Amino acid sequence: MYIAHGSGGLRVARLPDSVTGDTKLDLLGKFALGGGSSANYVAVAGDLIFVAGGRGGLSIVRREQQQPQTTWAQGISPVLECVSVNKDGTFTAHFGYSNGNGHPVQIPVGDQNYFAGSLKDRGQPTVYDMGRTAYYPNAKFRVRFNANERLVWNLTGRTSTAFPGSARCK
């Protein structure tokens, strides 16, 4: 997230994976504005950051996109958030992941990223950003399945399994 920090310029921070009442942001970096300007408001659109300054100025900064590494790394785990029951008797599994590496990782669908069975690609991601994905109802992706199926997502040697008896979404 980007934070306007007055005369301190622009701060870049993120929420830690575990949030409590007294959680502090993890500061990732600072960006000083030129000409002694202060940052009073910040907005992001695509790869552009707009910073409104205290002297009526506007700074526009292009943010660099961190390219994912193309080799997989340890520390990436698939996560089944929950399973919901559909009106037609089928089920929907809501999946996310946790990437403990300090960088995004790219893992194409293949022998390190697949669902067991005949359908290897069920819409799972191929780029894994740092940290933990959002929880249900904002899970990273979902897969519809029948009552007689077990979904087993294999990701870098770790698995997450969904079946009709899995924890229900609340």
pLDDT, tens digit (0-9, with 9 covering 90-100), for 55-101 = 666 667 676 655 555 555 578 999 999 999 999 999 999 999 999 98
Alpha-carbon span 97 to 9, nearest angstrom? 33
Query: 94 with 57, same domain?
Result: no
Query: 94 with 137, same domain?
Result: yes
CB 161 within 8 A of CB 147: no
The reply to whether 88 falls in a domain is yes
Alpha-carbon span 131 to 1, nearest angstrom? 14
- Number of domains into which the chain is organized: 2
CB 29 within 8 A of CB 61: no
Predicted structure pTM score: 0.60
Give 148-153 contacts, CB < 8 A, sequence gap 24+. 151/93, 151/115, 151/116, 151/122, 152/115, 152/116, 152/117, 153/78, 153/80, 153/95, 153/114, 153/115, 153/122, 153/124
What type of residue sits at position 112?
Q
Q: Which domain holds residue 52?
A: 2-62
Q: What integer pLDDT is reported at residue 39 of this predicted model?
A: 74
Q: Which tokens in the block code for residue 96? A: 């996310």
Kindly state the average pLDDT of the residues 25-31.
60
Query: 80 with 151, same domain?
Result: yes
